[in-house]
Structure 1
Amino acid sequence: MDNLGDILKETRQRRQLSQLETAENICSQSTLSEIEHNKYIPNTQLLISLCQRLSINFDDLLLAQNFSICKDRYFNQKVRSLYNSRNYQLLKSYLNRPTVTELVETSKQMQAYYFYLAVCDLHLEHNFDSSKEFLKLSLASTGHSRKQTTLTRICNITLAYVYAKQGLRTSAIKQINVALRNLDQITYDENLNIIYFVAALSYLALNKYDLAIKMVERGINFTRKNNSHFMLLDSIYLMAHITEKIQDSCHKLENVKKYDIFNDFIHERPYAKVN
């Protein structure tokens, strides 16, 4: 599944939406059908509208597989359910219950515990200072180990994003480099798809559009190379959003073609464009 139409269709079906519901007030059902059958490439405006209808939000830090906080299966399932449904307020309350830390037994579980708290505060009122402190506690939970686990990299790249949102350019770029270090040389984990995506978000927050685009492209190539489609639609949506921002700001980049930005990804056959 490495064509845009296939990914849009799979996402629509997962959301349990019909073509008619998805296309309403955006485009005709026949146009959506042509897109899903890879006969048309949507322009950025149309793609953004479809992604919004499908509840794609590139500010959400999605996970392919969640991290365990303790050995209690029900507890981990509850955390997973709240996190995946983006119910951050209830998740934060659930994690802040007095007895929760008594269930945490290992440094890896403690790292996950602080990570989830950091994400909750990141989404709730965009509390960057609190999120930053939880991320630092999460990273400190690894002790003196220099080995970066998947979760460690995710914490580092999330911290980069927080720094970027606070305008701390040097700190943000440093954390991006840490998270990306030797990424192509380690055993693949689907959650690693997040790294390039959040790196792109971080550069976008710093108004570094060219670097943001390069990170999205690297992420798409990394995802496809590992035969995954997790975060692909999110990445294409983010690329469309960046392209719109570039057009709005009259920022010129040689490697950006207004409505052909996806041609390297949606490859091989010539497609017509739709408005």
Structure 2
Amino acid sequence: MDIKKFIRQRKALGYSQIALSQGICTQSTLSKFENNGKVPSLSILDQLCRRLGLTIDDLNRDDETTVCYLRATLNGIEENLMAEHFPQALKQLDQLDATTLTASQDRMQYYYLRGMLATLTNQPGSAALFNFTKILEELDERHQTIYSQLAYLGSGVLYARQGSMDQADFFFAKVINYLQANANGKWAHTSKERYLRIISMMYYAAEYHALNHRLAISDRVLTETINICATNHVTYFMPRIKLLLANNAIAAGMSTDAVDQLLDEAMVFARFNRNSVVQVQVAAVRNNYHKEIKHRS
């Protein structure tokens, strides 16, 4: 971000820091931005820029290479999240300087990744909810972007894993309504980033249905998800999809052959995608399942 351009414009128009910040923010907030590079909220920065006859994009235009690099980094982190490569994703995210993210979509993606990784790596729930709240109450107050849906999703997953199903129901209802309202058969033909996020939403919706013993619905959603994965040649969702199908098959009392086939497929996809999380889970499920079968016989 070209903060010097901002300062030059302020001085050219004769604004002191106190005068420019009046009615928008504190002088201290403006000073930290100009002197230390601490970027204020997008709402504040937008108002300051408009008072100077600038846009936020004006400050970013001279740094397009950096912006492209940051977006590529965020997308790489999100792919590692989807592939359950959590250590790599966390390491990459910790190396990212959030103050360099000025575009609203970049900041929303950053907070979504922070929140979802906190949820899936069993960090304190308050840490996850803080990040989701940043999206829902600050960056996307009107809930017009997919990031609000992703924040709902993350909140629902968090509460479901805590066993707080009333709260989980509230958030998953929003996600499921969104998926149903937009189920126009074109998920597989949208942008890469969008269909990958839709796949995530569908998978966790299927997991939620399974937790609520709606196994047929869960299996139907998983089948639709597999079709999208196949159409777009995406394999790194397949390990956990097959594992969830196997768990559903066990819960539904399907044959041992059917369960073992799904577990075999989950393991093959997990090895292919280097998904150590699912490999461990498959081994544990198979072991417990066959112990239970042996005990019953």
Give the shorter-chain TM-score range.
Answer: 0.5 to 0.7
TM-score if structure 1 supplies the norm length? 0.54
Q: Is the 2:118–2:127 Cα contact (8 Å) retained in structure 1?
A: yes
Matched, 1:152 2:153: no
Matched, 1:197 2:203: yes
* C-alpha distance in 2 between matches for 1:179 and 1:164: 14
Q: State the partner residue of 2:223.
A: 220
Aligned to 2:69, which of 50, 53, 74?
74
| Distance verdict in 2 for CA 1:193–1:81, change over 3 Å | closer
Matched, 1:135 2:132: yes
Q: What do you get for the CA RMSD once the two structures are aligned?
A: 3.3
Of all paired residues, the percent bearing the same amino acid is 11
Q: Please list every run of at least 4 consecutive aligned residues from structure 1 whose deviation after the TM superposition is greater than 6 angstroms.
A: none
Q: State the partner residue of 2:58.
A: none
Aligned length, in residue pairs? 179
Q: Is the 2:159–2:167 Cα contact (8 Å) retained in structure 1?
A: yes
More helix by share: 2
What letter corresponds to residue 211 of structure 1 in structure 2? R
Q: State the partner residue of 1:48.
A: none
| Distance verdict in 2 for CA 1:213–1:234, change over 3 Å | farther
* C-alpha distance in 1 between matches for 2:91 and 2:225: 34
Larger radius of gyration: 2
Query: Greater RCO between the two (CA within 8 Å, min separation 6)?
Result: 1
Q: CA deviation at 1:166?
A: 1.5
Q: Is the 1:196–1:215 Cα contact (8 Å) retained in structure 2?
A: no
What is the DSSP-based 3-state SS (H/G/I as helix, E as strand, rest coil) of the residue aligned with 1:181? helix
Q: State the partner residue of 1:111.
A: 108
Q: Is the 1:160–1:199 Cα contact (8 Å) retained in structure 2?
A: no
TM-score if structure 2 supplies the norm length? 0.50
What letter corresponds to residue 161 of structure 2 in structure 1? K
Q: CA deviation at 1:223?
A: 4.6
Q: CA deviation at 1:132?
A: 1.9
* Alignment deviations for residues 14-67 of structure 1 (CA, whole Å, 9 cap, x no partner): xxxxxxxxxxxxxxxxxxxxxxxxxxxxxxxxxxxxxxxxxxxxxxxxxxxxxx
* C-alpha distance in 1 between matches for 2:204 and 2:112: 15
Q: State the partner residue of 1:94.
A: 95
* Alignment deviations for residues 226-250 of structure 1 (CA, whole Å, 9 cap, x no partner): 8345434431221113434x3xxxx
